[in-house]
Amino acid sequence: MRTPFRLLTPAAVFTGVLMAGIAPQSFADTLLVERVARQSAVTLPARGQSMNKVRAQFGEPTEVLAAIGGDQPRQPPITPRVYPEFTVHFERDRVIHAVVRRSSAVEQGPKPVE
């Protein structure tokens, strides 16, 4: 009587090993998607919102970074304001971009979902 392992061809063994190597990467992609979905629940300031409205809605920023640019009329100053969950970039006094912050300062990639 033959054992099941003798029925496997070298190509079938190679395919099995290859699929085993791909499975953890697929799982990591799922974790990233879950983390992004969790972060999308964070309310961010809308583009074009005034600095005063952002301050009224979210409070004072934890950190105000130095303005970037502003040397020429065609390059207005961009001022980042850091909040606990996100960073807002203002052009003069209007929101141009808001970004959810990393989980920690030393994070290199997506963290596993707990």
Cα distance between residue 54 and residue 45, in whole Å:
6
Question: Cβ distance 88 to 81 under 8 Å?
Answer: yes
* Interstrand relation of 63-64 and 78-82 (parallel, antiparallel or unpaired): antiparallel
Give just the sign of the alpha carbon dihedral 18, 19, 22, 23.
negative
- What pLDDT score was predicted for residue 70? 84
pLDDT of residue 114: 58
Cβ contact 86:99 at 8 Å = yes
Tokens of 12: 């079938």
Q: Residue 95 — very low, low, confident or very high, per pLDDT cuts 50/70/90?
A: very high
Q: Which residues lie below 8 Å from residue 52, measured CB to CB, with a gap of 6+? A: 93
In the chain, how long is the greatest CA-to-CA distance?
85
Of 3-12, 41-50, 77-86, give the lowest mean pLDDT range: 3-12
CB atoms within 10 A of CB 44: 20
- Predicted confidence (pLDDT) per residue in 56-76, tens digit: 999 999 999 999 988 888 889
SS3 state of residue 74: coil
What is the percent of the chain where pLDDT is above 70? 53
**pLDDT tens track for 13-27:** 666 665 665 554 444
